[in-house]
Amino acid sequence: MKVVIVLVSLFVIVLSKPQRGFQQYSNLRDVPILKYSNDFNPADGSYSYNYETGNGIQAQEQGYLKNRGNPQTEAQVMQGSYSYTGPDGVLYTITYIADENGFRAEGAHIPTPPPIPEAIARSLYGNTPSPSRFGRK
């Protein structure tokens, strides 16, 4: 009987321990920062940062200035990721890049549109007027 009581007690202790990433905080001011790093190099404009919070949020990003000093092609480039546990208990992760081509994000839960059917694509792109049609060369 004592063995059963000890085993049940250990089981209750293990179950009562908060699971990392699933900790609930009633006030976001109470969420601890577990890891934090922030580096910036003013000489070339590059930077990186990362952090992890007590409620399971993780983020990291790196960036740099592409073609520095050339106003025609200069662009800030950044890429990174972040993850969090949703209310449904699922870990969601987003990876992204932002540069002269815009912001692009990927994640298993982000919906993507179906491809444009070939006949419609031909119709859209095949009927594009040529510049000379409007008096431009």
Q: Where are the domains of the chain?
A: 21-126
Residues 6+ apart with CB under 8 A from 64: 44, 45, 46, 47, 76, 77
Return the closest-CA partner of residue 56 out of 80, 27, 90: 90
Mean pLDDT across the stretch 71-94? 92
pLDDT at 21: 45
pTM: 0.62
pLDDT at 93: 96
Question: Structure tokens of 68?
Answer: 């520095």
Nearest-angstrom CA–CA distance, 88 and 98: 29
3-state SS, one letter per residue, for 63-122:
EEEECCCCCCCCEEEEEEEEEEECCCCCEEEEEEEEECCEEEEECCCCCCCCCCCHHHHH
Model confidence over 22-45: pLDDT tens digits? 567 777 788 999 999 999 998 888
Model confidence over 103-118: pLDDT tens digits? 999 998 888 888 888 8
